[in-house]
Chain A
Amino acid sequence: MSNYNNEMVEKFRGNFLKEVEANVEEGDWVKMCMQCGVCSGSCPLGPHWEHPPQEIFMLIRANKREEVLNSSSMWMCTSCYNCIARCPRGLPITHIMHGLATYAKRLGLAPKQQATAKFAQLFWDNLVKTGRVNELKLGLSLYFMNGIGEGIKTSLKMKDIGLGMLKTKRMSPMEMLGGHGCKDAKGLHAILKKAKEIEEAKIGIHGA
């Protein structure tokens, strides 16, 4: 993976904007930002970001590759779409945030202990297994994400909600044993594999 990172560094030689345009979903739009700051002002989480969207775009144009890709910022995006709705230049900001996050992860540069990044991985792993989300397992793995002690504490805290969900049949204890899935999980795996191949070929990951 860091091999891929080196390749990209080599390939784009200090032109991070070009790299983003080539490898990040909707990255083409980054140059169109006019630095008005409306996105940063609209983001409900803006004040908590290391670099709000406007700054991320400026950092990209200022060639600050590490600073952007190591940042926890884009992982903070909750997909509320406030910024997209308001950006006078029509940048698909939300999508670019997710694009950057994905790209950073591919390069192995995403922050290791970032909570949303971790959750995203758990969610993905859970989902692809059977093609359906297993709420029980996902919930538990989420609680135990940061160790056993914290896991038990959170589980106890969430106990009432869990029981309520069982009672209203929103969740089944049987899920623990395997759980429901889509009709053709194998077929799904094949589709995902193909998709991965296509995408990696597009952004130049060789034999990953």
Chain B
Amino acid sequence: MADAKIGAYICKGCGLGERLETKQLVTIATREGKAGVAKEHDFLCSAAGVEMIQNDINNEGVNRVVIAACSRRAKTEAFAFDGEITLSRVNLREGVIWVRPDTDEARETTEEMAADYVRMGCAEAKYMTPPASAQEKGSNNHLLVVGGGMSGMTAAIEAAKAGYPVTIVEKTGALGGAAANFYKRIPDRSPYAEPMDTGIDAMIKTIEADAKISVKLNSTITKTSGAPGSFSADITTESGATSTENFGAIIMASGFKSYDMNLLPELGGGKSPDVVDQMGLEKLAKAANGGAIKRPSDGREIKKVIFVQCAGQRSEKEGHLSYCSGHCCSTSIKQAMYFKDQNPDIETDILFTDLRTPGAPGEDFYRSGQEKGITFRKGVVSDVSPAGGSLKVKFKDLILNEEISDEADLVVLATGQVANAGVDIEAVKQDEPGEWKVNADSILNMNYRQGKDLPHLKHGFNDSHFICFPYETRRTGIYTCGPVRRPMDIQQAIEDATGAALKAIQAMENAQLGRAAHPRSGDLSYPSFRKEGCTQCKRCTVECPFGAIDEDERRYPVFNESRCRRCGTCMGACPVRVISFENYSVETVGQQLKAVDMPDEFSEKPRILVLACENDAYPALDMAAQQGMQYSAFTRVIPVRCLGSVNTIWITDALNSGYDGAILMGCQKGDNYQCHFVKGSELAHMRMSKIDDTLKTLNLEQERVATYEVAITDIKRAPQLIEDMAATIEKIGMSPFKF
């Protein structure tokens, strides 16, 4: 590759020319930043400005472009150059002039701020190399769908429609899943008044007629290995015959099972055949097929049905489900309609504590149920027991505040959905390398170092970036849809599956180009690791949020580039710093913070280092600047891919080289995480909790380092956190480590 040559370009537009000595900045770029070419321009993002730079790339050998202008989040389209280059953005607009007052007193410190950022940009450029796409490229675009229910069939049909071949692997002997037993489904279109056909039969026909979709019934997955674009799956039939096939992406749509109503004896579960759960009622209704539904116990006519909502759900009792399954209120309305539509004289009482009918049909469907004469009573059921040929239902009416004892011929329990989410990899022990075995309870039987199935988040559902990117799981190229992710009804499962199909297609296409999938979609860089330095500490293999790193027999990490999301968490984890990306490494950041000019202890000019997550905290600071908020001129902000990529050496180096304070800003962590890389922020917080030791050895105050969760909406708070640190430093004094 050609020698590195930095071209630094200082923009004078957007008021930068008036506020800053741009000539001076050019000199700094040349003298201190060692830029081979350094120029200022009136209007850098204009066609002329862009052409000037492109010309230098083409004819002057510039291959490390440093643009000192607006935030890296602005003008990305204008500053997209052709050629093998790296691009560094120096944020003089949002990062300097917009957050500083335009006054004579502020001029000097503002100027220093700008100068430092130019030094930092050049330092970064010096240590970057242009990313070539990953060597490991998948070429397979065949989609594997695990589970042949509503979700799986939808995903298969949608992907096939988009032109991709699909294989459905279904455990049972038929397609259709849970919904195949439904008599009807909640309507999906206006006026949302009548239950409608499930459409399962038509879907099965579509699949059978589609040459792009093949179906393997009575089969399970006994091994999954590989990466996006090059997965390999062992498909084993009931008889034990196994075939190995290759796939580009995987959708896991293994659905749910109903909560076991036998665990609810107080509600009559298991005590009488006339107490059924909602799935049981569907079967009765399907058998009746529009005729009178008969009592299971004696085939007698039914005059009164009581539906008990939230049976074993939304309850903190041991063994109950603490969550709401979301669909069962609407489902009970639908089921009560089965009776009312057949014979309006049948009494149907729905006993609820809160009637929840989310989704488009919700209110209209509820109203339709009321119009049909279904009785809704707010009440808590305490006991259901067989008595003299019928069922006695005891409940407390919450509106009338009265204990009531009623009778019914049939009781339907609205029990919840329990995810078929595979084994909980955090709970089961992982096989030693080389001793991998099939687990009958696993859905995917992955041979990944971190475990056989997709990680769970809460309540046994698969983790799928619940808040920001609901389709994203923690295994690249493998997507979940339907009730494995969260409880849902048919309509939601269909939408979910359609989205998952799209994501799977995207993953296959990206893998073929050697590019990252979400959220650094299109990123060509990938982590490389220097094996000689590795101490086999396993931190990277354990901490990678996406299970991208396996281990060989000698416990060395084995990177799977296509599985990698380029978050840099491994880089942050590595104690010997042997993991890096071409354009993002311990050096590219470390050299930036060292490039800052460090005034002495008595200058009254402290330095505050801010490492800000580029997804949330950095944009929040940009937006604060747009809104005219200000923060200390002593701040030097460096965006990081994810807080997880922060290697503690950066903090140690910063403190050693005289920074007076350091702030880390990452996304929300924990169960309701918003971290784009799921675990990055959490891991960073964990690592930083140990920084106190370092501070102690240096004899520095603990307050000098602070780690925060910052959301993109924290526009007021983010600058305030910086101001707080500035105030703290004023209180405790400057760091003595200035050189």
Chain A residues at the B interface, C-beta cutoff of 8 Å: 17, 31-32, 34-35, 54-55, 58-59, 61-62, 64, 89
Q: When the two chains form the complex, which single residue of A31, A58, A64 contacts B377, counting CB atoms closer than 8 Å?
A: A58
Chain B residues 394 to 439 lying within 8 A of chain A, measured CB to CB, are 397, 399-400, 404
CA distance A64 to B401 in the complex (A): 14
Q: Which residues of A contact B404 (CB under 8 A)?
A: 62
Q: When the two chains form the complex, which single residue of A17, A31, A55, A89 contacts B399, counting CB atoms closer than 8 Å?
A: A55
CA distance A59 to B400 in the complex (A): 7
Q: Is the CB of A61 within 8 A of B400?
A: no
Q: Is the CB of A58 within 8 A of B370?
A: no
- With A34-B355, A35-B399 known as contacts, the answer to whether A61 contacts B375 (CB < 8 A) is yes
Q: When the two chains form the complex, which single residue of B367, B371, B373, B378 contacts A35, counting CB atoms closer than 8 Å?
A: B378
CA distance A54 to B401 in the complex (A): 13
16 more A-B residue pairs beyond the given contacts A34-B366, A35-B376, A61-B376, with a C-beta to C-beta distance below 8 A: A17-B375, A31-B370, A31-B371, A31-B375, A32-B367, A32-B370, A32-B371, A34-B376, A35-B378, A35-B399, A55-B399, A58-B378, A58-B399, A58-B400, A61-B377, A62-B400
In the complex formed, the residue of B with least CB distance to A31 is B370
CA distance A111 to B371 in the complex (A): 32
Q: Is the CB of A58 within 8 A of B366?
A: no
Q: Which residues of A contact B399 (CB under 8 A)?
A: 35, 54-55, 58
Between A and B, 21 residue pairs with Cβ closer than 8 Å are: A17-B375, A31-B370, A31-B371, A31-B373, A31-B375, A32-B367, A32-B370, A34-B376, A35-B376, A35-B378, A35-B399, A54-B399, A55-B400, A58-B378, A58-B399, A59-B400, A61-B375, A61-B376, A61-B377, A62-B377, A89-B367
Q: Which residues of B contact A34 (CB under 8 A)?
A: 355, 366, 370, 376
In the complex formed, the residue of A with least CB distance to B366 is A34
Q: Which residues of A contact B377 (CB under 8 A)?
A: 58, 61-62
In the complex formed, the residue of A with least CB distance to B374 is A31
How near does chain B come to A61, taking the closest CB pair, in angstroms? 5
Q: Which residues of A contact B366 (CB under 8 A)?
A: 34
CA distance A57 to B355 in the complex (A): 17
Nearest 3 CB-CB pairings of A with B: A58-B399, A32-B370, A31-B370
Interface residues on chain B, number (Cβ under 8 Å): 14
Q: Is the CB of A58 within 8 A of B371?
A: no
How near does chain B come to A19, taking the closest CB pair, in angstroms? 14
CA distance A64 to B355 in the complex (A): 23
Q: Is the CB of A58 within 8 A of B367?
A: no
Q: Which residues of B contact A54 (CB under 8 A)?
A: 399
Q: Which residues of B contact A59 (CB under 8 A)?
A: 400
Q: Is the CB of A58 within 8 A of B397?
A: yes
Q: Which residues of A contact B373 (CB under 8 A)?
A: 31
How near does chain A come to B598, taking the closest CB pair, in angstroms? 64
Q: Which residues of B contact A61 (CB under 8 A)?
A: 375-377
Q: Which residues of A contact B355 (CB under 8 A)?
A: 34
CA distance A61 to B350 in the complex (A): 12
How near does chain A come to B639, taking the closest CB pair, in angstroms? 47
Q: Which residues of B contact A89 (CB under 8 A)?
A: 367
How near does chain B come to A29, taking the closest CB pair, in angstroms? 10
Q: Which residues of A contact B371 (CB under 8 A)?
A: 31-32
How near does chain B come to A155, taking the closest CB pair, in angstroms? 43
In the complex formed, the residue of B with least CB distance to A61 is B375
How near does chain A come to B494, taking the closest CB pair, in angstroms? 28
Which of B375, B376, B399 has the largest count of A CB atoms less than 10 A from its CB? Answer: B399
CA distance A35 to B398 in the complex (A): 10
CA distance A55 to B399 in the complex (A): 6
Q: Which residues of B contact A17 (CB under 8 A)?
A: 375
Q: Is the CB of A62 within 8 A of B367?
A: no
In the complex formed, the residue of B with least CB distance to A59 is B400
Q: Which residues of B contact A55 (CB under 8 A)?
A: 399-400
Q: Is the CB of B397 within 8 A of A62?
A: yes
CA distance A62 to B404 in the complex (A): 10
Chain B residues 350 to 372 lying within 8 A of chain A, measured CB to CB, are 355, 366-367, 370-371
CA distance A82 to B400 in the complex (A): 23
Q: Which residues of B contact A58 (CB under 8 A)?
A: 377-378, 397, 399-400
How near does chain B come to A127, taking the closest CB pair, in angstroms? 38
How near does chain A come to B714, taking the closest CB pair, in angstroms? 35
Q: Which residues of A contact B370 (CB under 8 A)?
A: 31-32, 34
CA distance A77 to B711 in the complex (A): 51
Which of A32, A54, A58, A59 has the largest count of B CB atoms less than 10 A from its CB? Answer: A58
Which of A35, A54, A62, A64 has the largest count of B CB atoms less than 10 A from its CB? Answer: A62
CA distance A58 to B355 in the complex (A): 15
Q: Which residues of A contact B378 (CB under 8 A)?
A: 35, 58
CA distance A139 to B149 in the complex (A): 75
How near does chain A come to B728, taking the closest CB pair, in angstroms? 49
CA distance A141 to B94 in the complex (A): 81
Chain B residues 152 to 167 lying within 8 A of chain A, measured CB to CB, are none
How near does chain B come to A78, taking the closest CB pair, in angstroms? 23
How near does chain A come to B160, taking the closest CB pair, in angstroms? 43
CA distance A58 to B370 in the complex (A): 13
How near does chain A come to B499, taking the closest CB pair, in angstroms? 32
CA distance A54 to B376 in the complex (A): 13
How near does chain B come to A11, taking the closest CB pair, in angstroms? 15
* Chain B 369-392 near chain A by CB (<8 Å), digits 1 or 0: 011010111100000000000000
CA distance A89 to B363 in the complex (A): 10
How near does chain A come to B326, taking the closest CB pair, in angstroms? 18
How near does chain A come to B405, taking the closest CB pair, in angstroms? 13
In the complex formed, the residue of B with least CB distance to A29 is B370
CA distance A158 to B440 in the complex (A): 90
Which of A17, A31, A54, A89 has the largest count of B CB atoms less than 10 A from its CB? Answer: A31
Q: Which residues of A contact B400 (CB under 8 A)?
A: 55, 58-59, 62, 64
